[in-house]
Amino acid sequence: MSLINEALKKARDKNSPSVAPQSRHAPARGMGSPPPQSVGYGMWVVATVVVSGFAAVLFYFLRSPQQNVVAANPPPPAAPQAPSGVGGPRNVSTVPPPPAIETPTQAVQPPPPPPPQPVVQTPPPVQVQQPPAVRLPRPNLRVQATMVFPDSRTAIINGREYLEGEEVDGATVVEIKLNGVRLRFNGEEYFLKNN
């Protein structure tokens, strides 16, 4: 910054008139006389250059990080084309482009993929071979009495009382009627009469 200030002071000193200021009624300029120089003209030029440079630096650093990423393989420079026209060949010299300046930037990386979901494989259903249906013999049951009332039904089987839904030696009492009991054994229903 001090270099800029010194340059501004020199420009001001160089352009400042050392002669006494002219009177209000100065003679008219002729066509051949140079225009009067303004003291601030050089200063304005230097200030404009400084402000433009500062704005360019700010723009470079404040733009989005995606624009700061330097290409890994920049495209090759274009080959010079032979001049075409009247006047013969020209001497064309190619200047290699300046090397790319790498600036420290944050590389934008996509978010990591979500962890894989565990695959739950259900084993195939095990088919258990059931032994051939063995017909068990019906239990030896004897219905001795049945009592049917509006609010309850009771049967006396092998000397004990049973209600509908109870089990007797592996058989289930399904229904109690006046004349006997309906039983279920091994998925089969049968009816036992009163003795």
The number of folded domains in the chain is 2
Long-range contacts of 145-149 (CB under 8 A, 24+ apart): 145/194, 146/176, 146/177, 146/178, 146/179, 146/180, 146/181, 146/194, 148/176, 148/177, 148/178
Work out the pLDDT band at 7, boundaries 50, 70, 90: confident
- Confirm whether 166 is domain-assigned: yes
The model's pLDDT over 23-70, given as tens digits with 9 standing for 90+, comes to 455 555 555 555 555 556 778 888 888 999 888 887 787 775 554 455
Work out the pLDDT band at 124, boundaries 50, 70, 90: confident
- Confirm whether 119 is domain-assigned: no
- Confirm whether 121 is domain-assigned: no
Its sign, for the CA torsion 10, 11, 12, 13, is positive
Compute the distance between CA of residue 68 and CA of residue 28 in angstroms, rounded to an integer: 58
Domain that holds residue 161: 143-193
- Confirm whether 176 is domain-assigned: yes
- Confirm whether 116 is domain-assigned: no
CB 150 within 8 A of CB 158: no
pTM (two decimals): 0.33
- Confirm whether 131 is domain-assigned: no
